[in-house]
Structure 1
Amino acid sequence: MKQRTAILGAAVLLGTAGAASAETLRLSHQWSTQDIRHQVAQMIADDVAAADVDLDIRIFPSASLFKAREQYTPLSRGQLDMTVLPLSYAGGQRPAYNLTLMPGLVKNHDHAARLNDSPFMEDIKATLAEDDVVVLVDGYLAGGFAGKDGCITGPDDMQGKQTRAAGKAFEQMLAGAGASIASMASSEIYNAMQTGVLDAANTSSSSFVSYRIYEQVACYTPPGEYALWFMYQPLLMNKSAYDALSDEQRAALDAAAEKAEAFYLEEAKKEDAESRRVFQENGVEIADMSAEEFEAWRALAAETSYKAFVEELPEGQALLDKALAVE
């Protein structure tokens, strides 16, 4: 009896040790659990769990682990395993990342997908690797313009307007178009328009809908065949943590990431279409940007945002040229 008890005890200990050997990765992001970026993260966590490779991904949404703009440094230091992050948030540490939120660099979602497979993105990923970070999922989200009293499709439409822009480079470009800039979070746009502080706004498709901006504007320019505002928001992983996984764990993670990337692209397109539908249903005029207007914005960006970027990062001209070379 004593021998059998000892054997059972050893089996329990072995079982406990086996369960404890499962690797747990921590994934942090700032978004709610309804957000597309959380859905991308959850898809990867679910698929990796289903692969049964002793790898668990624990997600910390809504900035519950790290603040929104404070995730890149712990990721690069190995204090965090994974994150979904607008890469321009880390532009202070790495100015090259500011090109991932630059007006006129991306025309539409299919163009963004081509950019992700270009020498430009290879250079961005090489910089990430220097910080011990690797991209698991590429992804861009788009945005547009809304005007309180009229449509905003070309630079001339911004003259004399008080506007909110999403990102420093957009503020530089819109100021160049003759607008006055009011910096604020997207969550403050509604009240600012209601009280007459803003005449126009630039933000993401999802923010336009979730903050009900359609109640305050006369015209909406959604992302379509042409759009100015695209923000690179990849799912990143600490490279040392990735390299430390077993071959089976990496294969499961890579397969999940490939599936999630395709989902991300399709859902991003759906968000834009949904914003168009919601604004239209609420009686807001829809105005699409033309190819000529897109090129006019890009010419203005070259004199303002692009110029300021290259002045900050002289070697950035070569990187900018690579991005602009992608058709």
Structure 2
Amino acid sequence: MGKTLKLAILPAIALTFVAGDAFAATEWNVSTWGKRRAFTEHLHKIAELVEEKTGGEFTMNISYGGLSKNRENLDGISIGAFEMAQFCAGYHPDKNPTITVLELPFLGVNTLEEEVAVSHAIYDHPAAQKDLGRWNAKLLMTSPMPQYNVVGTGPAPSKLEDFEGKRIRATGGLGKAFETVGATPTSVTATEAYNAMESGVVDSVAFAQHAHLAFRTIDLADWWTANLNPGTVNCPIVVNTDAYEGLSEEHRAALDSSVDEAIEYYLANYGKLLDKWEGILAEKEVEKVSFSPEEIAKFEDKAAKGTREQWIKDMEAQGIPGQELYDTVQKTLKDMRGTN
């Protein structure tokens, strides 16, 4: 951001008087996009928990597109236009290069619990905190998503070569991965994906299951790749640093202590959606495509090593510890699994 002008930020604390007694009431505005869905349930849960813990003194107003466009949420945080926001790293990798390590293809993350662990390990890294600090943003929690898979129109692919020439909605590292097998990635936002697919701007879309439902790409799909699993997108929840530091000790404690419970609620809720996924495919008559282990290994070989090495090289050239960030992800996975 360089020397981006930071506007004066008004405290989100108003004094309310009840029966002659004064107490500090904190009201935060939260910016996300689309509509309420599995991807945003932890926002609603943390708002509920914080309000309960503070006896209604700390409340959050969650806005779906009314405060900012999804690609501009980090900018809004930087100037204090709102106190909390959700965004995805792949929407603007140049603004948040450190956390794009979490979008590299074939990282080896197998579960949502592992996705939470690696995300928060990176969020806790000094390089990531410095990176987001340029935007006056404090990383609070992740929005864990399963491995992305693809829905598309036309003949279903059965081997990697079938992606050659396809126009696919895939951002960040996923886009780079599909490029290696001849596809042409485009980074249209989630809210633009349905129209892009309907109009033929893209013929396939890479999303997690909740997004295929929420943004209705599943309604246009002829097929779904059940096991390609090339990676996922990382979408943090951040808070404006000045607003966070301006909280009373009690309100800050209520917020911090609610993160783990909000994530646990998110994971349980997302699990229910995954349980229903097979039925949804059958109901909508979407063909489920499974790739052979040989094809998946070929994809990983093409996409993973070269993309990872180039990412590390690019980061190191910017003075960012790319190798250390990548190693942090791998160490976290090993620690979780108890492997050496």
TM-score when normalising by structure 1: 0.78
The gaps in structure 1 that reach 5 residues or longer are 1-11
AA paired with 2:129? Answer: A
User: Is the 1:88–1:100 Cα contact (8 Å) retained in structure 2?
Assistant: no
In the other structure, the counterpart of 1:202 is: 206
| Cα offset, 1:220, TM superposition | 0.9
In the other structure, the counterpart of 2:260 is: 258
Q: Which has the larger Rg? A: 1
The CA distance in 2 between the partners of 1:306 and 1:144, in whole Å, is 20
Secondary structure at the counterpart of residue 277 of structure 1: helix
Equivalent runs, 1:51-200 vs 2, <5 Å: 51-53=53-55, 55-105=57-107, 106-116=109-119, 118=121, 120-123=122-125, 125-127=128-130, 130-131=133-134, 132-142=136-146, 143-152=148-157, 155-158=160-163, 160-181=164-185, 184-186=188-190, 198-200=202-204
Secondary structure at the counterpart of residue 61 of structure 1: strand
In the other structure, the counterpart of 2:328 is: 322
AA paired with 1:170? Answer: L
Please identify which structure carries the higher helix content.
Answer: 1
Secondary structure at the counterpart of residue 248 of structure 1: helix
User: Is the 1:23–1:54 Cα contact (8 Å) retained in structure 2?
Assistant: no
User: Is the 2:32–2:87 Cα contact (8 Å) retained in structure 1?
Assistant: yes
Does 1:26 pair with 2:32?
no
Q: Go from structure 1 to structure 2 and tell me whether the alpha carbon gap of 1:144 and 1:272 turns closer, same or farther (over 3 Å shift).
A: farther
Query: Deviation above 6 Å: which 4+ runs of structure 1?
Result: none
Percent of pairs identical after alignment? 20
Equivalent runs, 1:168-317 vs 2, <5 Å: 168-181=172-185, 184-186=188-190, 198-222=202-226, 227-288=229-290, 293-314=295-316, 315-317=321-323
Q: Go from structure 1 to structure 2 and tell me whether the alpha carbon gap of 1:175 and 1:25 turns closer, same or farther (over 3 Å shift).
A: same
Secondary structure at the counterpart of residue 77 of structure 2: helix
| Cα offset, 1:190, TM superposition | 5.0
The CA distance in 2 between the partners of 1:114 and 1:162, in whole Å, is 34
Secondary structure at the counterpart of residue 18 of structure 1: strand
Secondary structure at the counterpart of residue 135 of structure 1: strand
Secondary structure at the counterpart of residue 313 of structure 1: helix
AA paired with 1:130? Answer: G
User: Is the 2:89–2:96 Cα contact (8 Å) retained in structure 1?
Assistant: no
User: Is the 2:32–2:85 Cα contact (8 Å) retained in structure 1?
Assistant: yes
User: Is the 2:73–2:85 Cα contact (8 Å) retained in structure 1?
Assistant: yes
In the other structure, the counterpart of 1:9 is: none
User: Is the 1:49–1:56 Cα contact (8 Å) retained in structure 2?
Assistant: yes
The CA distance in 2 between the partners of 1:31 and 1:95, in whole Å, is 24
| Cα offset, 1:258, TM superposition | 2.0
**Deviation per residue, 1:131-169 (Å, 9 max, x gap):** 4433333322233112434545763442x2412132043
Equivalent runs, 1:37-48 vs 2, <5 Å: 37-48=39-50
In the other structure, the counterpart of 2:5 is: none
| Cα offset, 1:319, TM superposition | 1.8
User: Is the 2:33–2:70 Cα contact (8 Å) retained in structure 1?
Assistant: yes
| Cα offset, 1:192, TM superposition | 5.5
In the other structure, the counterpart of 1:4 is: none
| Cα offset, 1:23, TM superposition | 2.0
The gaps in structure 2 that reach 5 residues or longer are 1-15, 335-340
The CA distance in 2 between the partners of 1:316 and 1:125, in whole Å, is 11
AA paired with 1:318? Answer: E
| Cα offset, 1:99, TM superposition | 2.2
The CA distance in 1 between the partners of 2:241 and 2:312, in whole Å, is 29
User: Is the 2:93–2:172 Cα contact (8 Å) retained in structure 1?
Assistant: no
Range that drifts further, 124-133 or 162-171: 124-133
User: Is the 1:162–1:182 Cα contact (8 Å) retained in structure 2?
Assistant: no
User: Is the 1:74–1:80 Cα contact (8 Å) retained in structure 2?
Assistant: yes
